[in-house]
Structures are given as C-alpha cells and as structure tokens.
C-alpha cells in the first residue's frame, strides 16, 4: 500500500522507524525487532539508509522483511550524497523486485573529508526525487525541518528549497524531530504560505536516556524546551525514571498533536520495541490498531 493512501485515512495513524544492522551477523536481531514492532500494528514502518554506506547494505532486506515477512507497509529510505547514479538505480531495481512502493528520498549528510558533489552525481534530494520518479510508480517522501536545516542560511531559503523539492515529486514529507509542538504548528503556517500542500508527518523521538539528548542536539540542532530539559536534569542519572519520563513526554506530544488535527505521527523508535510498545499502550484508545 502506498503511504499517500495511508495518510489520506481519516483515523489517526502512527508509524515507526528502524535502522538496519551494520553487519550481517546482526541481521537476525533486527529481523526480530521488526517482528516485535509489527505486532504493535503500526500504519507503516520505515527503515533508514546510512548516507556513508555503513548501514545501507541491509535496508532493502529489512524493508522486504517488514512488508513481505510481516505484512506492514514498508517505507525504504534512500540517500544519494555518497552514491553514484548507478548504485542508486540498482537499489531502486531491488526495491521494485521486492514490490516496495514507498521511498523516503534524502540527500544525506555530506561526509566531512569528501569532495562534494562528485561530477555527474546528486547534489540535493530534489535531484534524487526526479530520478526516482522517472524509474517507476513510487510513492516518494522527503524530509523537512521545522526549525530549519542546519546548513540553510535562513529558514526562508530552506522553505524555498523545500518547495522545489515537493515540486520535484514528493507525495508527503516527514519532519525532523521536535520537542515543542508549537515548532510544528508554526512550521505548518509557514509552509501553507508557500503553498506546500502535501501531508506532513510529525516526527517524534522518545528520549529515554541522557546520552541521546547530547547526540540529538549536536546532530539535529533541535531546540530543547525548558520543560523537557527539566526532565533530563532531574532524571538523567536514574535510567528507569528517565525511560518512564521520556515515554510519557513523547506520549503527551503525540496526544496534543492528534488533538490538534495532526493525523499522522512517526515515532523514531531507535529499534526499541519496548519503548514503542509502551507508547502504543498509552495511546490504545486514540490509535485503534487494525
């Protein structure tokens, strides 16, 4: 099933994100995570694709496991920054063979010591999106950044490039994580003014340990509101309490989003079925599983 159809449904939807293993020896573990996550009956599951190659080798395998092994629609991420066009085309062919219809098309982070872009390679996600469109009947998603992409000079520049990306053929967008829902609501006003009208899935990251928070700030630049910082300050040294508080905070964010008309939320589950399961349990009357 195409994600665009899922996002059109009237009832609220919740999807989950996983990452593939680095080595083949961990493949069975990740497949077990897929099975446990599938039991929660998310509306779809996405699987990341490491831009620098380390975690890209098994993305198609895991997408296949999600969709054909566990009967949950799969969204395969695909990055282009470190890939040749030939490599990208071969991954698209593998996805076609596995009947995966949904691709989240991304540029990826530019590797620090690399020449970028290489001649005749992709520079921006919009170029990848054009390319995927010409290769078959895919439902294509793109990333968006309610607080602005870290490389963009201004939010206005970023929104203009987002508009170009949607016009290249995005059927939907998924946001970078945010910890203050007002960031999402303000972003929705801004993109409406730009006449960007595709569905925007809200990305929520349950932060369940103190290490994550440092990584999040350095990688995504997401703003941490005082309410959330107080939780980290109070519970960071107590893993069980931090886990419980992180799950409660993410649940509250999701309830507020759905109450305010946001119909689809994507949870960055970080391969933790226990955390995802606790959130789904908290939402059992709000997200009715099929």
Closest CB to ligand FAD among residues 165, 264: 165
CB–CB of 272/208 below 8 Å? yes
Minimum separation from the CB atom of position 137 to ligand FAD (A): 21
Q: Confirm whether 17 is a catalytic residue.
A: yes
- List of residues contacting ligand FAD (CB under 6 A): 48-51, 77, 79, 104, 106-109, 124-126, 143, 149, 151-152, 157-158, 161, 164-165, 174, 176, 203
Q: Per the structure block, which two tokens stand in for 7?
A: 């996002």
Closest CA to 27 of 62, 3, 60: 62
Closest CB to ligand FAD among residues 191, 242: 191
Minimum separation from the CB atom of position 81 to ligand FAD (A): 7
Own/partner long-range contacts of 180-185 (Cβ < 8 Å, ≥24 apart): 180/223, 180/225, 180/228, 181/253, 181/256, 181/257, 181/260, 183/146, 183/147, 183/223, 184/146, 184/257, 184/262, 185/260
Minimum separation from the CB atom of position 157 to ligand FAD (A): 6
Closest CB to ligand FAD among residues 40, 201: 201
Minimum separation from the CB atom of position 133 to ligand FAD (A): 15
Q: Which of 5, 9, 10, 17 is catalytic?
A: 17
Q: What CA–CA distance (Å, rounded) separates 38 from 74?
A: 11
CB–CB of 264/13 below 8 Å? yes
Q: Per the structure block, which two tokens stand in for 204?
A: 């929520």
Closest CB to ligand FAD among residues 116, 230: 116
Cite the active site residues: 17
């Amino acid at each position: 099933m195409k994600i665009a159809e899922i996002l059109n449904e009237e009832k609220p939807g919740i999807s989950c994100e996983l990452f593939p293993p680095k080595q083949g020896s961990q493949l069975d573990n990740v497949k077990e995570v897929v099975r446990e996550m599938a039991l929660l009956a998310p509306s779809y599951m996405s699987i990341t694709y490491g831009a620098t190659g380390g975690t890209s080798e098994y993305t198609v395998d895991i997408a296949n496991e999600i969709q054909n092994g566990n009967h949950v629609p799969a969204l395969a991420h695909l990055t282009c920054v470190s890939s040749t066009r030939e490599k990208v085309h071969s991954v698209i062919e593998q996805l076609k063979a596995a009947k995966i219809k949904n691709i989240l098309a991304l540029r990826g982070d530019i590797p620090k010591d690399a020449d970028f872009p290489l001649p005749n390679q992709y520079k921006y996600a919009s170029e990848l999106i054009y390319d995927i469109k010409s290769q078959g009947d895919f439902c294509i998603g793109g990333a968006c950044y309610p607080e602005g992409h870290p490389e963009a000079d201004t939010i206005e520049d970023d929104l203009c490039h987002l508009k170009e990306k949607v016009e290249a053929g995005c059927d939907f967008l998924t946001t970078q994580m945010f910890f203050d829902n007002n960031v999402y609501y303000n972003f929705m006003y801004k993109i409406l003014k730009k006449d960007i009208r595709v569905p925007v899935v809200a990305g929520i990251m349950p932060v369940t340990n103190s290490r994550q928070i440092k990584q999040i700030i350095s990688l995504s630049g997401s703003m941490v509101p005082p309410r959330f910082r107080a939780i980290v300050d109070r519970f960071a040294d107590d893993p069980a309490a931090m886990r419980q508080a992180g799950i409660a905070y993410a649940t509250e964010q999701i309830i507020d989003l759905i109450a305010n008309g946001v119909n689809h939320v994507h949870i960055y589950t970080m391969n933790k079925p226990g955390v995802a399961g606790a959130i789904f349990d908290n939402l059992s009357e709000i997200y009715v599983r099929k």
